[in-house]
A = this chain, B = another copy of it.
Amino acid sequence: MTLGEPPPRSPRNRPTMREVAALAGVAIKTVSRVVNEVPTVDPAIAARVRDAADKLGYRPNLTASSLRRGDGRTATIGMLVEDSANPFSAALTRTVENVARERGVLVLVGSLDEDPARERELARALIDRRVDGLVIVPAGRDHSYLISEQRSGTCMVFVDREPSLLDADTVVSDNRRGALTAVNHLLKAGHRRIAYLGDRATIPTAAQRFDGYRHALEVAHIEYDDEIVRHTGASEESAIAATERLLALPNPPTALFTSQNFVTIGAVRALRALGLQDTVAHLGFDDFPLADLLSPGISVIAQDVEQLGRTAAEMLFHRLDGDQSPTRTVTIATRLIERGSGEIASGGSSEITSGGSGEITSGGSG
């Protein structure tokens, strides 16, 4: 087996400061000064250096720079989300990206798919690249593996779900109060038999929303009924099946509260398949595109994703700027958006409001 020449793989012959310096006839350090816009360089020399740099197509090497620099900053942050393709994660990422861009910082994105192992793996991969900070929508329930990173000076902010076994800044939606508002809204429309459909109860946000549901019933002196509560996973299919089974009960619910996006959409599909979309009231947690275009429009408790993302990013950058204050948890209010499905009165008589999207703020605390 003759070994051919090693694959010619491009030699990565990128010009360096050394070459720019040689061409401009100055010392490397002078090129460094020009590149970093240090003002104590003779304008004529600076111009010569810039010409040389342009001629060679020189681009500074930020990895080398960050290695040498005192602060070791890479002007890069890491963002771990559930799935960068889903609307919630995508919107969150975009908001963080916007804040980061104002500071010349880029964002490394990773999707966790609810896998705690992947969370650890990707967090490590980001840390190995020496990101300046992390924004994490966690998948796992044990973040102690980040303690040493935190001590080593990596800033991190958790979003949407609180960290466990770790003290870190956090930004969450007011899930409990949002769910409470949702159920109260259905109660106000006269419903007494309100089903709960949500994600697995092990997921903290799902648990909090479920808690809000139970609390609302309790306050209204309605007995909790296990039979109309389903913790399906976050998939349309299981939500469809669960909804169908619920509505086939001898004593079916007259209203549904679905506490997660895909569950909401599954329920919508099931209701339509059964022709019950104008009979059974339905309120979902989390807004989704085109919810207003369906008929009836789907009433939801909307999270303020923009606010979540912006707050998280700003907290992170404050820390990077040296903020040493104790960690905080910021709770972002949710908003009830009435679109029709949540205003169907008990008894099945449709009682759709004016059609606008009346918006009622609920929850929220510093």
Contact = CB atoms under 8 A, between A and B. Distances in A.
Interface in A72-87: 72, 74-76, 83-87
B109 A107 contact: yes
A124 interface: yes
A91 to B, nearest CB: 5
A331 B107 CA distance: 30
Interface string A348-364: 00000000000000000
Given A13-B153, A109-B109, A128-B62, A83 B94 contact: yes
Interface string A129-146: 110000000000000000
Contacts of A61: 67, 128, 130
Contact of A71 (B12, B87, B101, B126): B12
A168 to B, nearest CB: 14
Interface string A149-160: 101110000000
A127 B67 contact: no
A104 interface: yes
Number of copies: 2
Contact of A129 (B8, B62, B89): B62
Contacts of A91: 85
A251 interface: no
A289 to B, nearest CB: 7
Interface string A303-339: 0000000000000000001101000000000000000
Interface string A5-23: 0011111111100000000
27 contacts: A8-B322, A9-B71, A9-B322, A12-B72, A13-B152, A57-B148, A57-B152, A59-B127, A60-B128, A63-B67, A74-B129, A76-B108, A83-B94, A85-B87, A85-B91, A89-B90, A97-B109, A106-B110, A106-B122, A107-B110, A268-B293, A269-B293, A288-B289, A288-B290, A289-B289, A290-B293, A295-B295
Interface of A: 7-15, 57, 59-64, 66-67, 71-72, 74-76, 83-87, 89-91, 93-94, 97, 101, 104, 106-111, 122, 124-130, 148-149, 151-153, 265, 268-269, 272, 288-290, 293-295, 321-322, 324
